Amino acid sequence: MTLFDLTGKVAIITGSSRGIGRAIAERLAEHGAKVVISSRKAAPCEEVAAGINAARGAGRAIAVPANISSKDDLANLVARTREAFGRVDIVVCNAASNPYYGPMSGISDDQFRKILDNNVIANHWLIQMVAPEMIERRDGAIVIVSSIGGLRGSPVIGGYNISKAADFQLARNLAVEFGPHNIRVNCIAPGLIRTDFARALWENPETLARYNSTTPLGRIGEPDEIAGVAVMLASKAGSFMTGQGIVVDGGVTIT
């Protein structure tokens, strides 16, 4: 065994049909975990699961579509995971939404509620659904994908940033509650990553050049560069880390 071995572990990853979530699912599987691919649409989930099974062996991945805004969908996600694999050891809350771009003065109540519901409350729901069995086994790893937006103000994505700041506190608070049961809860805070979710930023040459000019590494990140941190947090390599937010941003927040 190595510090990063996840053999025998079962992981649910939301928003895992593409981007950061997909990279995390593929790398968890590479390190031995059985993974559950979940996002809103069935076909993309099944495609990712099929790819993992082809690479890692049949039965290593299943697809369970779920809309994170639906508590019933999340309950079904957990139930289907237990039916297929018998347990849940790792949860990665990656799915999020941002339906509004502009100053806080212009955001509608419905838009703000959707951001908070999907980016904070849905994470709380899913974590509470899996926590009892983790408490019983005295073992579990929970990873919330937050953002460096949760550490900064913004004139155009303030609602999103507020939700990501709340995710940091959700992890801290749950780390205190679950720590006595040997359950770890941490956040990853990516900077700008080459995903469909952030396409409007990195596809604009001026925006990209401006971002790169203030980033010590001089470039944006790739989904796989977030996945490695998730593997660490889910494995024995991260066994003494809880309640933390790990910034993975090429250094942009230090300049």
Provide CB contacts within 8 A for 9, sequence distance 6+: 28, 32, 33, 34, 89, 90, 234
Where do the H-state alpha helices sit in 117-157?
122-137
- Active-site residue identified among 100, 101, 160, 211: 160
Rounded-to-integer distance, Cα 209 and Cα 221, Å: 14
Provide CB contacts within 8 A for 163, sequence distance 6+: 96, 115, 116, 119, 120, 150
| Residue 211: active-site member | no
Hunting for tokens 């203030």 — which residue is that?
214
Are the beta carbons of 232 and 244 closer than 8 angstroms?
no
Are the beta carbons of 17 and 65 closer than 8 angstroms?
no
Q: Give me 143's structure tokens.
A: 């990873």
Residues with catalytic roles: 160
